[in-house]
Amino acid sequence: MRNTKLEGLSPGPTLIERAYEAILDAISDRRLEPGERINQEDLAGRLQISRQPVGQALNILKSQGFVRDNGRRGLIVAPLEREFFQSIYQLRGALDAMAAELAAGRRSDADVVEGRGLVAEGRRAMKSGKMEALIDADKRFHMWTYRVAGNPLLVDTMGLYWNHLRRAMAELLRRPSGRDLVWDEHQAILDAIVAGDADEARARALAHARDASARLVEAIPAPAVPASEDEARAERRRA
């Protein structure tokens, strides 16, 4: 029962798509630092392709807020700014609450199994202490709620936002304050969804988003490390 209508041959990943993925990944896990200047030629060289697909990928990234115009001096990786992440968390609060509420009314048996697995995985990641795994498990749990909620647009939209959040997460999880708390809260959301208690699920999700927001906002240095043009210039002079 696979490919019942096989007219659906996808044209395969183009260089643009691969460049997009590669660059977004690098930005998300901070191999490309916030505020760092971006050079098309350099990126193209590292990816072993021409500037063309790189430029197109960067344009998409720009429209999604991951990179930003830097006057006439090309692009920079979007700096980490408190207000921006507060904005994201505000939206996330509203959407997570909605997602949890919907999920409580729609979860299937398979969903429940998967959800429990994700929480277990998260707790394991927590014990392992590996930051990468922890961030990943966090995202995966929440993406699960969006999926179970049954709104594809929600999955796409929040998926993008989570790439933004990932950049700040590293900062956040560095301090172990309340790491356990996170997965207790996830557990509570899961339980409410499993129980089919929509109101409770909504309330728990909202509380979790608020807590996460508070934790994150204090983790981002207040004046937002702008990595200014002057700094960049100085750096170049040094080299």
Is the Cβ of residue 41 or residue 83 nearer to DNA in the bound state?
A: 41
Q: Is 154 in the site for its own copies (CB under 8 A)?
A: yes
Shortest Å distance, C-beta 155 to its own copies: 10
For residue 32, the cross-strand partners are: none
Residue 172 interacting entry, from DNA, its own copies, none, C-beta within 5 to 8 Å by type? none
C-alpha 44/C-alpha 229 separation (Å) is: 23
CA gap 199, 192 in Å, rounded: 8
- In angstroms, how far is the first alpha carbon of the chain from the final one? 59
Please list the alpha-helical segments (H only) found in the chain.
15-28, 40-47, 51-63, 82-104, 109-128, 131-149, 152-174, 179-195, 198-219, 229-238
Facing residues of 75 across strands? 38, 69
Q: Tell me: does residue 231 bind its own copies (CB under 8 A).
A: no
Tokens (6 digits) for 148: 């179970």
Is residue 170 within the footprint of DNA (CB under 7 A)? no
DSSP-based three-state secondary structure for 215? helix
Q: What's the distance, CA 88 to chain centroid?
A: 11
**Which positions from 38 through 67 interact with DNA, judged by CB under 7 A?**
38-41, 49-53, 55-56
Q: Work out how close the CB of 225 gets to DNA at its nearest, in angstroms, rounded to a whole number.
A: 20
Q: Show Cβ contacts of residue 143 under 8 Å, excluding neighbours closer than 6 positions.
A: 155, 158, 159, 162
Query: Which range binds DNA by CB under 7 A, 84-92, 121-129, 153-161, 230-238?
Result: 230-238
Does position 14 bind DNA by CB under 7 A?
yes
Q: In this chain, which stretch among 36-44, 60-68, 119-127, 189-197 interacts with its own copies, using CB under 8 A?
A: 60-68
Neighbours of 76 (CB within 10 A): 23
56 lies in the binding site for its own copies (CB under 8 A) = yes
Would you tell me how many other CB atoms lie within 10 Å of the CB of residue 239? 4
For DNA, which residue of 8, 71, 176, 223 counts as binding (CB under 7 A)? 71
Q: How far is the CB of 90 from its own copies (least distance, A)?
A: 6
The reply on whether position 108 binds its own copies by CB under 8 A is: no
Least Å distance, CB 26 to its own copies, is: 18
5 sits near DNA (criterion: CB under 7 A): no
| Residues engaged in binding its own copies (CB under 8 A) | 7-11, 16, 55-56, 59-60, 63-65, 69, 71-72, 83-84, 87-88, 90-91, 93-95, 97-98, 102, 151-154, 156-157
| Residues engaged in binding DNA (CB under 7 A) | 9, 14-16, 38-41, 49-53, 55-56, 71-75, 233, 236-237
